[in-house]
Amino acid sequence: MEKRFVYADNAATTRVSENALKAMLPFLQESFGNPSSLYSVGRKAAAALLDARKKVAEALGADTKEIYFTSCGSEADNWAVRSAAFEGAKKGKRHIITSAFEHHAVLRTCAFLEGQGFEVTYISPDSRGLIDLADVKRAVREDTCLVSVMYANNEIGTIQPAAEIAAVCKEKNILFHTDAVQAVGHIDINVKKQGIDMLSLSGHKLHAPKGIGALYVRSGVELSPLIFGGPQERGRRAGTENVASAVALGAAITDAVTGIAQRSAAVMQMRERLIDGLLSAVEGVRLNGDRYIRLDGNVNLSFDGIEGESLLLMLDMEGICASSGSACESASLDASHVLKSIGLDDRAAKGSLRLTINEENTQEDIDYILERLPAIVARLRALR
Protein backbone atom coordinates (compact mmCIF):
# COMPACT_ATOMS: atom_id res chain seq x y z
CA MET A 1 0.00 0.00 0.00
CA GLU A 2 1.00 3.62 -0.56
CA LYS A 3 2.18 5.53 2.48
CA ARG A 4 -0.79 7.03 4.33
CA PHE A 5 -1.44 9.34 7.25
CA VAL A 6 -3.34 7.34 9.86
CA TYR A 7 -4.37 9.07 13.05
CA ALA A 8 -4.96 6.35 15.63
CA ASP A 9 -4.54 8.35 18.83
CA ASN A 10 -8.05 9.64 19.46
CA ALA A 11 -7.79 8.96 23.19
CA ALA A 12 -5.06 11.62 23.30
CA THR A 13 -7.07 14.18 21.41
CA THR A 14 -9.48 14.48 18.48
CA ARG A 15 -9.88 16.70 15.45
CA VAL A 16 -12.28 19.65 15.87
CA SER A 17 -15.45 18.84 13.93
CA GLU A 18 -16.89 21.08 11.22
CA ASN A 19 -20.01 21.65 13.33
CA ALA A 20 -18.01 22.67 16.39
CA LEU A 21 -15.77 25.00 14.40
CA LYS A 22 -18.69 26.62 12.58
CA ALA A 23 -20.57 27.13 15.83
CA MET A 24 -17.69 28.79 17.65
CA LEU A 25 -16.31 31.18 15.00
CA PRO A 26 -18.97 33.94 15.33
CA PHE A 27 -18.08 34.31 19.02
CA LEU A 28 -14.47 35.19 18.28
CA GLN A 29 -15.16 38.21 16.05
CA GLU A 30 -18.78 39.18 15.33
CA SER A 31 -20.30 38.47 18.73
CA PHE A 32 -17.17 38.82 20.82
CA GLY A 33 -18.89 40.56 23.72
CA ASN A 34 -18.43 39.74 27.38
CA PRO A 35 -21.43 37.66 28.52
CA SER A 36 -21.66 39.82 31.65
CA SER A 37 -22.18 43.03 29.63
CA LEU A 38 -25.63 44.50 29.16
CA TYR A 39 -25.43 45.66 25.52
CA SER A 40 -26.49 43.41 22.70
CA VAL A 41 -23.17 41.75 21.68
CA GLY A 42 -22.73 40.85 25.31
CA ARG A 43 -26.26 39.53 25.59
CA LYS A 44 -25.73 37.49 22.44
CA ALA A 45 -22.68 35.87 24.02
CA ALA A 46 -24.61 35.23 27.24
CA ALA A 47 -27.44 33.58 25.32
CA ALA A 48 -25.00 31.38 23.40
CA LEU A 49 -23.28 30.39 26.64
CA LEU A 50 -26.60 29.42 28.18
CA ASP A 51 -27.52 27.43 25.09
CA ALA A 52 -24.17 25.60 25.24
CA ARG A 53 -24.73 24.81 28.93
CA LYS A 54 -28.17 23.47 28.06
CA LYS A 55 -26.69 21.22 25.38
CA VAL A 56 -24.05 19.80 27.72
CA ALA A 57 -26.77 19.20 30.33
CA GLU A 58 -29.04 17.47 27.82
CA ALA A 59 -26.20 15.24 26.66
CA LEU A 60 -25.83 13.95 30.23
CA GLY A 61 -29.47 13.94 31.30
CA ALA A 62 -28.71 16.76 33.76
CA ASP A 63 -30.26 20.16 34.51
CA THR A 64 -28.68 23.24 32.95
CA LYS A 65 -27.81 24.72 36.34
CA GLU A 66 -25.85 21.60 37.24
CA ILE A 67 -23.18 22.23 34.57
CA TYR A 68 -20.00 24.20 35.33
CA PHE A 69 -17.62 25.02 32.49
CA THR A 70 -13.93 24.47 33.18
CA SER A 71 -10.74 24.85 31.15
CA CYS A 72 -10.21 21.10 30.72
CA GLY A 73 -10.94 17.63 32.04
CA SER A 74 -8.06 17.82 34.49
CA GLU A 75 -9.53 20.94 36.05
CA ALA A 76 -12.92 19.28 36.42
CA ASP A 77 -11.29 16.27 38.12
CA ASN A 78 -9.23 18.47 40.47
CA TRP A 79 -12.27 20.55 41.38
CA ALA A 80 -14.60 17.62 42.04
CA VAL A 81 -12.18 15.68 44.21
CA ARG A 82 -10.94 18.70 46.17
CA SER A 83 -14.43 20.05 46.74
CA ALA A 84 -15.74 16.70 47.97
CA ALA A 85 -12.76 16.41 50.31
CA PHE A 86 -13.14 19.95 51.60
CA GLU A 87 -16.87 19.60 52.17
CA GLY A 88 -16.36 16.14 53.70
CA ALA A 89 -13.77 17.46 56.15
CA LYS A 90 -16.33 19.94 57.49
CA LYS A 91 -18.30 16.90 58.68
CA GLY A 92 -15.22 15.07 59.97
CA LYS A 93 -15.08 12.79 56.92
CA ARG A 94 -11.53 12.57 55.64
CA HIS A 95 -11.43 9.26 53.77
CA ILE A 96 -11.51 8.95 49.98
CA ILE A 97 -11.82 5.85 47.81
CA THR A 98 -10.48 5.82 44.27
CA SER A 99 -8.85 3.36 41.91
CA ALA A 100 -5.18 2.72 41.25
CA PHE A 101 -5.55 3.35 37.51
CA GLU A 102 -7.24 6.74 37.47
CA HIS A 103 -5.92 9.57 35.31
CA HIS A 104 -3.21 11.56 37.08
CA ALA A 105 -5.64 14.48 37.37
CA VAL A 106 -7.42 12.41 40.04
CA LEU A 107 -4.42 10.51 41.43
CA ARG A 108 -2.24 13.57 41.99
CA THR A 109 -5.14 15.46 43.57
CA CYS A 110 -5.55 12.53 45.96
CA ALA A 111 -1.82 12.55 46.71
CA PHE A 112 -2.05 16.26 47.49
CA LEU A 113 -4.97 15.59 49.84
CA GLU A 114 -3.01 12.83 51.60
CA GLY A 115 -0.45 15.52 52.38
CA GLN A 116 -3.29 17.55 53.92
CA GLY A 117 -4.28 14.78 56.31
CA PHE A 118 -6.81 12.87 54.22
CA GLU A 119 -6.65 9.10 53.87
CA VAL A 120 -7.03 7.52 50.46
CA THR A 121 -7.80 3.89 49.59
CA TYR A 122 -6.65 2.92 46.10
CA ILE A 123 -8.62 -0.03 44.72
CA SER A 124 -6.72 -2.17 42.26
CA PRO A 125 -8.47 -3.33 39.12
CA ASP A 126 -8.37 -7.05 38.31
CA SER A 127 -6.12 -8.41 35.57
CA ARG A 128 -8.76 -7.57 32.95
CA GLY A 129 -8.78 -3.93 34.01
CA LEU A 130 -12.11 -3.95 35.84
CA ILE A 131 -12.99 -2.63 39.29
CA ASP A 132 -14.84 -5.14 41.45
CA LEU A 133 -17.92 -3.73 43.17
CA ALA A 134 -17.20 -5.92 46.23
CA ASP A 135 -13.84 -4.16 46.67
CA VAL A 136 -15.60 -0.80 46.70
CA LYS A 137 -18.08 -2.05 49.33
CA ARG A 138 -15.25 -3.40 51.47
CA ALA A 139 -13.34 -0.11 51.32
CA VAL A 140 -16.24 2.03 52.55
CA ARG A 141 -15.84 3.48 56.05
CA GLU A 142 -17.87 5.66 58.40
CA ASP A 143 -15.70 8.63 57.45
CA THR A 144 -15.67 8.12 53.67
CA CYS A 145 -16.67 11.33 51.90
CA LEU A 146 -16.01 10.43 48.27
CA VAL A 147 -15.69 7.55 45.84
CA SER A 148 -14.07 8.56 42.54
CA VAL A 149 -13.84 5.86 39.86
CA MET A 150 -13.39 6.60 36.18
CA TYR A 151 -16.09 5.59 33.71
CA ALA A 152 -13.70 4.24 31.10
CA ASN A 153 -9.94 3.95 31.31
CA ASN A 154 -7.94 6.12 28.93
CA GLU A 155 -5.17 3.61 28.29
CA ILE A 156 -6.82 0.20 28.14
CA GLY A 157 -10.36 1.38 27.42
CA THR A 158 -12.06 -0.83 29.98
CA ILE A 159 -15.52 0.27 31.11
CA GLN A 160 -16.25 0.36 34.84
CA PRO A 161 -19.57 -0.41 36.57
CA ALA A 162 -20.28 3.27 37.29
CA ALA A 163 -24.01 2.94 37.97
CA GLU A 164 -23.46 0.01 40.35
CA ILE A 165 -20.77 1.89 42.25
CA ALA A 166 -23.08 4.93 42.37
CA ALA A 167 -25.81 2.78 43.93
CA VAL A 168 -23.46 1.57 46.67
CA CYS A 169 -22.47 5.18 47.39
CA LYS A 170 -26.05 6.37 47.52
CA GLU A 171 -26.94 3.69 50.05
CA LYS A 172 -24.04 4.78 52.26
CA ASN A 173 -24.60 8.51 51.72
CA ILE A 174 -21.21 9.01 50.05
CA LEU A 175 -20.58 11.24 47.03
CA PHE A 176 -19.75 9.49 43.77
CA HIS A 177 -17.60 11.23 41.17
CA THR A 178 -16.65 9.73 37.83
CA ASP A 179 -14.03 10.89 35.35
CA ALA A 180 -16.02 10.28 32.17
CA VAL A 181 -13.60 12.04 29.83
CA GLN A 182 -13.17 8.90 27.71
CA ALA A 183 -16.76 7.74 28.02
CA VAL A 184 -18.91 10.72 27.00
CA GLY A 185 -19.92 10.31 23.37
CA HIS A 186 -19.01 6.63 23.38
CA ILE A 187 -21.29 5.16 26.05
CA ASP A 188 -24.87 6.22 26.86
CA ILE A 189 -24.71 8.20 30.08
CA ASN A 190 -27.62 9.57 32.07
CA VAL A 191 -26.44 10.99 35.37
CA LYS A 192 -29.93 10.90 36.92
CA LYS A 193 -30.75 7.32 35.98
CA GLN A 194 -27.25 6.19 36.89
CA GLY A 195 -27.15 8.09 40.20
CA ILE A 196 -23.94 9.98 39.46
CA ASP A 197 -23.27 12.97 41.76
CA MET A 198 -20.34 14.52 39.89
CA LEU A 199 -18.93 13.89 36.43
CA SER A 200 -15.95 15.32 34.54
CA LEU A 201 -15.68 15.65 30.78
CA SER A 202 -13.31 17.28 28.31
CA GLY A 203 -14.02 18.99 24.98
CA HIS A 204 -10.96 17.94 23.02
CA LYS A 205 -11.70 14.24 23.47
CA LEU A 206 -15.00 14.63 21.62
CA HIS A 207 -14.21 16.92 18.66
CA ALA A 208 -14.39 20.28 20.47
CA PRO A 209 -11.19 22.35 20.85
CA LYS A 210 -8.59 21.99 23.59
CA GLY A 211 -9.07 24.26 26.58
CA ILE A 212 -12.69 23.58 27.49
CA GLY A 213 -14.22 21.02 29.81
CA ALA A 214 -17.17 20.70 32.14
CA LEU A 215 -18.06 19.43 35.56
CA TYR A 216 -21.56 18.18 36.33
CA VAL A 217 -22.55 18.57 39.97
CA ARG A 218 -25.95 17.31 41.10
CA SER A 219 -28.02 20.07 42.68
CA GLY A 220 -27.96 19.67 46.42
CA VAL A 221 -24.27 18.71 46.42
CA GLU A 222 -22.08 21.42 47.96
CA LEU A 223 -19.45 22.68 45.53
CA SER A 224 -16.67 24.79 47.00
CA PRO A 225 -15.38 27.66 44.84
CA LEU A 226 -12.36 27.09 42.65
CA ILE A 227 -11.49 30.61 41.49
CA PHE A 228 -12.42 33.71 43.51
CA GLY A 229 -13.45 36.86 41.70
CA GLY A 230 -16.51 37.68 39.62
CA PRO A 231 -19.88 35.94 39.65
CA GLN A 232 -19.23 33.57 36.73
CA GLU A 233 -20.24 29.90 37.01
CA ARG A 234 -22.60 30.75 39.83
CA GLY A 235 -19.84 32.44 41.80
CA ARG A 236 -17.72 29.31 42.03
CA ARG A 237 -15.32 29.76 39.16
CA ALA A 238 -14.59 33.40 38.43
CA GLY A 239 -13.14 34.58 35.15
CA THR A 240 -14.72 35.72 31.89
CA GLU A 241 -16.09 32.64 30.20
CA ASN A 242 -14.50 30.95 27.19
CA VAL A 243 -17.67 31.56 25.20
CA ALA A 244 -16.49 30.36 21.77
CA SER A 245 -15.10 27.10 23.13
CA ALA A 246 -18.14 26.47 25.31
CA VAL A 247 -20.33 26.92 22.22
CA ALA A 248 -18.12 24.47 20.32
CA LEU A 249 -18.43 21.99 23.20
CA GLY A 250 -22.22 22.32 23.07
CA ALA A 251 -22.26 21.52 19.36
CA ALA A 252 -19.71 18.70 19.62
CA ILE A 253 -21.26 16.95 22.61
CA THR A 254 -24.70 16.98 20.99
CA ASP A 255 -23.27 15.29 17.88
CA ALA A 256 -21.23 12.93 20.06
CA VAL A 257 -24.09 11.58 22.16
CA THR A 258 -26.74 11.47 19.45
CA GLY A 259 -24.52 9.46 17.11
CA ILE A 260 -23.33 6.75 19.51
CA ALA A 261 -25.47 3.89 18.21
CA GLN A 262 -24.78 4.80 14.62
CA ARG A 263 -20.96 4.91 15.02
CA SER A 264 -20.49 2.12 17.51
CA ALA A 265 -20.88 -0.98 15.33
CA ALA A 266 -18.56 0.23 12.57
CA VAL A 267 -15.82 1.37 14.95
CA MET A 268 -16.06 -1.85 16.96
CA GLN A 269 -15.81 -3.91 13.78
CA MET A 270 -12.57 -2.09 12.86
CA ARG A 271 -11.24 -2.59 16.39
CA GLU A 272 -11.96 -6.32 16.24
CA ARG A 273 -10.28 -6.61 12.84
CA LEU A 274 -7.24 -4.80 14.20
CA ILE A 275 -7.02 -6.99 17.32
CA ASP A 276 -7.57 -10.28 15.47
CA GLY A 277 -5.19 -9.28 12.70
CA LEU A 278 -2.36 -8.27 15.02
CA LEU A 279 -2.77 -11.20 17.42
CA SER A 280 -2.51 -13.61 14.49
CA ALA A 281 0.25 -11.83 12.54
CA VAL A 282 2.64 -11.22 15.43
CA GLU A 283 4.03 -13.64 18.00
CA GLY A 284 4.68 -12.64 21.60
CA VAL A 285 1.86 -10.11 21.81
CA ARG A 286 -0.99 -9.78 24.31
CA LEU A 287 -4.09 -7.64 24.49
CA ASN A 288 -4.30 -5.45 27.60
CA GLY A 289 -7.72 -4.97 29.15
CA ASP A 290 -10.86 -7.06 28.82
CA ARG A 291 -11.51 -8.13 25.26
CA TYR A 292 -15.12 -6.92 25.14
CA ILE A 293 -15.85 -4.66 28.14
CA ARG A 294 -13.87 -1.88 26.48
CA LEU A 295 -14.41 1.26 24.44
CA ASP A 296 -15.34 0.63 20.81
CA GLY A 297 -12.15 2.19 19.47
CA ASN A 298 -9.50 1.07 21.99
CA VAL A 299 -6.73 -1.41 21.18
CA ASN A 300 -3.89 -1.81 23.70
CA LEU A 301 -1.21 -4.42 23.10
CA SER A 302 2.10 -5.42 24.68
CA PHE A 303 4.86 -6.76 22.46
CA ASP A 304 7.58 -8.91 24.01
CA GLY A 305 11.10 -7.57 23.66
CA ILE A 306 10.16 -4.17 22.29
CA GLU A 307 10.39 -0.62 23.62
CA GLY A 308 7.18 1.31 23.07
CA GLU A 309 9.09 4.48 22.20
CA SER A 310 11.01 2.86 19.33
CA LEU A 311 7.75 1.44 18.06
CA LEU A 312 6.12 4.88 18.09
CA LEU A 313 9.02 6.47 16.20
CA MET A 314 8.94 3.81 13.49
CA LEU A 315 5.16 4.03 13.21
CA ASP A 316 5.51 7.79 12.85
CA MET A 317 7.90 7.29 9.94
CA GLU A 318 5.14 5.27 8.29
CA GLY A 319 2.61 8.04 8.97
CA ILE A 320 0.84 6.26 11.83
CA CYS A 321 0.08 8.21 15.03
CA ALA A 322 -0.32 6.02 18.10
CA SER A 323 0.79 6.11 21.70
CA SER A 324 2.48 4.02 24.31
CA GLY A 325 0.60 4.35 27.55
CA SER A 326 -0.95 7.82 27.61
CA ALA A 327 0.43 10.96 25.99
CA CYS A 328 1.64 12.41 29.26
CA GLU A 329 3.30 9.08 29.99
CA SER A 330 5.22 9.00 26.71
CA ALA A 331 7.31 12.00 27.75
CA SER A 332 8.51 10.20 30.88
CA LEU A 333 10.37 6.94 31.03
CA ASP A 334 8.28 5.45 33.81
CA ALA A 335 6.18 2.45 32.87
CA SER A 336 2.45 3.17 32.76
CA HIS A 337 0.77 3.00 36.17
CA VAL A 338 -2.34 1.66 34.44
CA LEU A 339 -0.58 -1.34 32.92
CA LYS A 340 1.24 -2.02 36.17
CA SER A 341 -2.07 -1.92 38.04
CA ILE A 342 -3.40 -4.82 35.94
CA GLY A 343 -0.31 -6.87 36.70
CA LEU A 344 2.13 -6.16 33.87
CA ASP A 345 5.79 -5.98 34.82
CA ASP A 346 7.90 -2.97 33.83
CA ARG A 347 9.14 -4.52 30.60
CA ALA A 348 5.72 -5.58 29.34
CA ALA A 349 4.32 -2.18 30.26
CA LYS A 350 7.09 -0.40 28.36
CA GLY A 351 6.47 -2.58 25.32
CA SER A 352 2.89 -1.42 25.03
CA LEU A 353 1.12 0.24 22.14
CA ARG A 354 -2.23 2.02 22.23
CA LEU A 355 -4.19 2.51 19.02
CA THR A 356 -7.42 4.46 19.46
CA ILE A 357 -9.60 4.72 16.40
CA ASN A 358 -12.92 6.43 15.76
CA GLU A 359 -15.51 7.00 13.04
CA GLU A 360 -13.05 9.09 11.03
CA ASN A 361 -10.85 6.04 10.44
CA THR A 362 -11.44 3.82 7.42
CA GLN A 363 -11.03 0.16 6.53
CA GLU A 364 -7.99 1.26 4.49
CA ASP A 365 -6.44 2.68 7.67
CA ILE A 366 -6.89 -0.71 9.34
CA ASP A 367 -5.41 -2.53 6.30
CA TYR A 368 -2.45 -0.16 6.38
CA ILE A 369 -1.75 -0.70 10.10
CA LEU A 370 -2.09 -4.45 9.63
CA GLU A 371 0.42 -4.29 6.79
CA ARG A 372 3.05 -2.04 8.42
CA LEU A 373 2.97 -2.85 12.13
CA PRO A 374 4.01 -6.54 12.01
CA ALA A 375 6.97 -5.64 9.78
CA ILE A 376 8.08 -2.92 12.20
CA VAL A 377 7.86 -5.32 15.14
CA ALA A 378 9.97 -7.87 13.26
CA ARG A 379 12.57 -5.23 12.37
CA LEU A 380 12.83 -3.99 15.97
CA ARG A 381 13.19 -7.51 17.31
CA ALA A 382 15.92 -8.28 14.75
CA LEU A 383 17.87 -5.25 16.03
CA ARG A 384 18.09 -6.58 19.57
Ligand X SMILES: *Cc1c(COP(=O)(O)O)cnc(C)c1O
Amino acid present at 167? A
CB 255 within 8 A of CB 17: yes
Name the residue nearer to ligand X (CB basis): 10 or 194: 10
Element (H, E) at 274: helix 260-281
CA–CA dist 308, 220 (Å, integer): 46
CB of 289 to ligand X, least distance (A): 14
Q: What gap in Å lies between CA 56 and CA 214, rounded to an integer?
A: 8
As a whole number of angstroms, the distance between CA 93 and CA 80 comes to 16
* Closer of 105 and 355 to ligand X (Cβ): 105
Sites of contact with ligand X (CB under 6 A): 72-74, 77, 103, 105, 150, 154, 179, 181-182, 202, 204-205, 213
Catalytic choice (72, 145, 321, 328): 328
**What long-range pairs does 84-91 form, CB within 8 A, spacing at least 24?**
84/145, 84/146, 84/148, 84/175, 84/177, 84/198, 85/113, 85/116, 85/118, 85/145, 85/146, 86/224, 87/145, 87/222, 87/224, 88/145, 88/146, 88/175, 89/118, 89/145, 91/145
CB-nearer residue toward ligand X: 199 or 251: 199
Which residue, 77 or 233, is less far from ligand X as judged by CB? 77
Q: How far is the CB of 152 from ligand X (least distance, A)?
A: 7
213: Cα separation from own chain's centroid:
11
CB 326 to ligand X: min, Å? 7
Tell me how far CA of residue 175 lies from CA of 72, 153, 172, 202, 258, in angstroms.
Answer: 22, 20, 9, 21, 28
CB atoms under 10 Å from CB of 116, counted, come to 11
In whole angstroms, what is the distance from residue 94 CA to residue 129 CA?
Answer: 27
Give the nearer residue to ligand X in terms of CB position, either 194 or 323. Answer: 323
Residue number, 183 or 306, with CB nearest to ligand X = 183
Residue 72 among the catalytic residues: no
In the complex, least distance from residue 356 CB atom to ligand X, rounded to whole angstroms: 10
Q: Shortest approach of ligand X to residue 280 CB, angstroms?
A: 30
Q: Which residue's Cβ lies closest to ligand X?
A: 73
The kind and range of the H/E element at 112 are helix 104-115
- We find the least distance from the C-beta atom of residue 122 to ligand X, in angstroms, to be 16
- C-alpha distances out from residue 281 to 254, 306, 317, 367, Å: 39, 16, 21, 13
Residues serving a catalytic function are: 328
